[in-house]
């Protein structure tokens, strides 16, 4: 979705957010908590996890992100469809609900459900 903020300000805020996450979840504390995983990666020659912990400022930089933004677009994501006044609830499910046909309950249970349903006057 397009932002209403000036792009440079948007990228600066994005980097600030990433820095908060980085300080909270990455760095020495994360390495200490994931030392076994990190050691396993290092033994297999996979250094990207360890490098990532200390290269934050060279990757998350508002100026670099602005430079990337100015580059030609190789592929463009389409905008979401126009908002409809009414949403078809059936389209919210990946698999459509099967209703009562998919549930087998005995008559006593069904009667109890019908009698205790909220908003129903018996």
pLDDT of residue 22: 72
The predicted-structure confidence for 6-37, as pLDDT tens digits, reads as follows 988 999 998 888 888 777 766 666 667 778 88
pLDDT of residue 6: 92
pTM, to two decimals: 0.44
Q: What is the CA radius of gyration of the chain?
A: 26
Helices (H), the chain: 7-25, 28-33, 35-43, 48-54, 56-59, 62-70, 107-116
Residue 59 CB partners (closer than 8 Å, separation 6+):
52
The predicted-structure confidence for 68-114, as pLDDT tens digits, reads as follows 889 998 888 888 878 777 877 777 777 765 666 666 778 888 888 88
């Amino acid at each position: 979705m397009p932002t209403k903020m000036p792009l440079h300000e948007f990228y600066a805020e994005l980097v600030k957010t990433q820095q908060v996450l980085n300080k909270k979840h990455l760095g020495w504390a994360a390495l200490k908590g994931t030392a076994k995983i990190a050691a396993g990666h290092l033994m297999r020659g996979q250094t990207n996890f360890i490098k990532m912990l200390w290269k934050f400022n060279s990757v998350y930089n508002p100026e670099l992100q602005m430079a990337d933004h100015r580059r030609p677009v190789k592929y463009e994501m389409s905008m979401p469809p126009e908002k409809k006044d009414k949403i078809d609830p059936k389209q919210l499910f990946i698999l459509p609900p099967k209703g009562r046909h998919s549930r087998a309950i005995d008559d006593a249970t069904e009667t109890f459900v019908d009698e205790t349903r909220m908003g129903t006057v018996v």
